[in-house]
């Protein structure tokens, strides 16, 4: 997992398919600008945007400059020469579709370095597919037919392809897409991206566990009561309704983001931090997931769909009324799951996962809740001045991914006075405060890793298929058991009450605690 300045002597061309979309303007080009400004990009790099609409190089550069000024983590200064130099690296070619257009693309790419007599080596190519998923295979197929994919063992140049999510919509389609892609690309050339893996706090899960000897011995069934993973979104589906209604929260978020967070949290220590060793351990976790029976799906999953309401004073239409949503849609905008990892480390420890749209706040975090001491020796103060008897709050480790990336550890301290009363206290680390800077954007790290050929933070074929195998069983049970309810919930809430009951049946509660009235922690019965 290196993160150093590339030492490439050969030129590199980064080609972005779907360059007219929001992802390119808001994330990819601003990330590349920051990498350029920090001198982390190879010295001989050119960036080519492609999309269906006709556009000149200058018009493309102007659009991307607007994106950089609006969305870059590091804002350019007025008259900054580095911004002008970076924009000069950008080119554009319209690509309406068809094999003939890809031959034109090849000619355009071949011509970029032709005028530079100093460049004698052929350029390597990184293709970024920032497109809808139905375009993945046609693009890769046409790249192969146009001779734009070099063999994986070519000694002079390399070819890599970054593919955005979603990768398939079930296990069968994911396998079929993998099989097709492998007729053109070697698996080592495929970089399936999940931007969550580029976030500093996600990477810090491994650093925190395996770089500090006081935590790893406690990271197992003997000391952990349960694990919670929350990825909450405040925004409703909005303009994504057409896509979202065919996907739902389980496909859109659980199969990729939450499964990756689960794998990193539960994995065994890798033999090294080389890409194969890390991904091998993640796959073992995903393959150890207990596949749910239809009866378990009915008991351990909760689906929700938001109704009409208000968030921050702004009206939110019911999901059913969003443009692009089918009448009577049973697509879930919220899902909560209880699942188990059937291996030696985690046997019997429940993992609770939840994600949803139009919730109370934007929040992604992992909570490791530890078991209580075997003997309740102390009274416990849950709130200042309010003693709750001997129900001791358990220790808790929180890894917050967004917003305010950081780590919190809760433990009990004695309240001053004659009685032995414990008060819960938190010790907190915040990236922006400690390092006096915001952490890098996820795409900065991931694009650079792809250029370097480091696939550690990208998703391998067997990871995709293992996560789909788990998710498919849930989808199949939902489709077969049409009487399973889809619970309504108000926008700006934490989701349906049925999700709270999923936890309460086990004597536990969701974190953060402000979603509850009075009761704010697990009580095991």
pLDDT tens digits for range 33-54:
999 999 999 888 999 999 999 9
Mean pLDDT of 464-471: 96
Largest separation between any pair of C-alpha atoms in the chain: 85
Domain(s) labelled CATH 3.40.50.720 in the chain stretch across: 12-164
pLDDT for the residue numbered 521: 41
Q: Mapping DSSP to helix (H, G, I), strand (E, B) and coil, where does residue 462 land?
A: helix
Is the bond leading into 512 cis (omega within 30 degrees of zero)?
yes
Q: For residue 453, what pLDDT is reported?
A: 92
Strand partners, 49: 16, 92
- Rounded to an integer, the average pLDDT of 109-127 is 75
Residues identified as active-site: 257
175-202 average pLDDT score? 92
Q: Indicate the pLDDT class of residue 378, thresholds 50, 70 and 90.
A: low
**Mean of pLDDT values over 345-350:** 96
Least confident of 259-263, 393-397, 448-452: 393-397
Q: Give tens-digit pLDDT for 488-520.
A: 999 999 999 999 999 999 999 999 865 433 333
Q: How far apart are CA 201 and CA 261, in angstroms?
A: 11
Query: 197-370+454-515, what's its fold?
Result: Dihydrodipicolinate Reductase; domain 2 (3.30.360)
What are the start and end residues of each CATH 3.30.360.10 domain in the chain?
197-370+454-515
CA dihedral (74, 77, 80, 85) in degrees, to 10, reads: 30
- Cβ 193 vs Cβ 165: under 8 Å: yes
Query: Domain 12-164 class?
Result: alpha beta
- Look up the pTM and report it: 0.89
* Confidence at 411, pLDDT banded by 50, 70, 90: confident
How far is 525 from 523, CA to CA, in rounded Å? Answer: 6
Q: How far is CA 342 from each of CA 173, 262, 285, 292, 448, rounded to the nearest angstrom?
A: 26, 13, 8, 12, 35
- Distance, in Å, from the CA atom of 495 to the CA atom of 356, rounded to the nearest integer, reads 7
Measured CA to CA, the distance from residue 307 to residue 334 in angstroms comes to 12
């Amino acid at each position: 997992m290196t993160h150093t300045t590339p030492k490439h002597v050969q030129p590199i061309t980064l080609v972005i398919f779907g360059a007219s979309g929001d992802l390119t303007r808001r994330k990819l080009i601003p990330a590349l600008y920051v990498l350029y400004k920090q001198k982390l990009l190879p010295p001989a790099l050119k960036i080519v945007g492609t999309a269906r609409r006709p556009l000149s190089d200058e018009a493309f550069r102007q659009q991307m400059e607007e994106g950089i000024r609006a969305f870059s983590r590091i804002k350019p200064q007025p008259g900054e020469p580095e911004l002008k130099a970076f924009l000069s690296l950008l080119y554009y070619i319209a690509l309406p579709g068809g094999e003939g257009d890809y031959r034109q693309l090849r000619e355009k790419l071949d011509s970029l370095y032709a005028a530079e007599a100093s460049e004698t080596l052929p350029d390597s190519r990184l293709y970024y597919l920032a497109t809808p998923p139905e375009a993945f295979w046609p693009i890769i197929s046409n790249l192969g037919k146009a001779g734009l994919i070099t063999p994986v063992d070519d000694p002079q140049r390399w070819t890599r392809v970054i593919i955005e999510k979603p990768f398939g919509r079930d296990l069968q389609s994911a396998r079929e897409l993998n099989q097709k892609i492998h007729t053109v690309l070697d698996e080592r050339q495929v970089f399936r991206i999940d931007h969550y893996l580029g976030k500093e706090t996600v990477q810090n899960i491994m650093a925190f566990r395996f770089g500090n000897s006081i935590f790893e011995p406690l990271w197992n069934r003997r000391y952990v009561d349960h694990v919670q993973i929350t990825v909450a979104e405040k925004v409703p589906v909005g303009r994504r309704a057409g896509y979202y209604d065919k996907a739902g929260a389980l496909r859109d978020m659980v199969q990729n983001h939450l499964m990756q967070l689960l794998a990193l949290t539960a994995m065994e220590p890798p033999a090294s931090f080389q890409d194969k060793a890390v991904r091998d351990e993640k796959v073992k976790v995903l393959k150890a997931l207990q596949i749910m029976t239809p009866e378990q799906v009915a008991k351990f999953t909760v689906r929700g769909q938001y109704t009409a309401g208000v968030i921050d004073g702004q009206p939110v239409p019911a999901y059913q009324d969003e443009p692009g949503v089918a009448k009577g849609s049973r697509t879930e905008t919220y899902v909560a799951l209880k699942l188990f990892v059937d291996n030696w480390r985690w046997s019997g420890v429940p993992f609770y996962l939840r994600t949803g749209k139009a919730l109370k706040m934007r929040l992604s975090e992992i909570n490791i809740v530890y078991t209580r001491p075997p003997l309740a020796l102390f009274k416990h103060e849950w709130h200042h001045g309010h003693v709750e008897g001997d129900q001791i709050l358990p220790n808790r480790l929180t890894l917050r991914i967004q917003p305010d990336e950081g780590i919190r550890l809760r433990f009990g301290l004695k309240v001053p006075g004659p009685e032995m009363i414990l008060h819960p206290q938190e010790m907190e680390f915040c990236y922006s405060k400690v390092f006096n800077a915001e952490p890098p954007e996820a795409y900065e790290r991931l694009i650079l890793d792809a250029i370097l050929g480091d696939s550690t933070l990208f998703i391998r074929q067997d990871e995709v298929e293992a996560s789909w195998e788990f998710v498919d069983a849930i989808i199949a049970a939902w489709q077969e058991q049409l009487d399973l309810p889809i619970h309504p919930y108000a926008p700006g809430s934490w989701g349906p009450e049925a999700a709270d009951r999923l936890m309460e049946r086990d004597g536990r509660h969701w974190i953060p605690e402000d979603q509850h009235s009075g009761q704010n922690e697990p009580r095991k019965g």
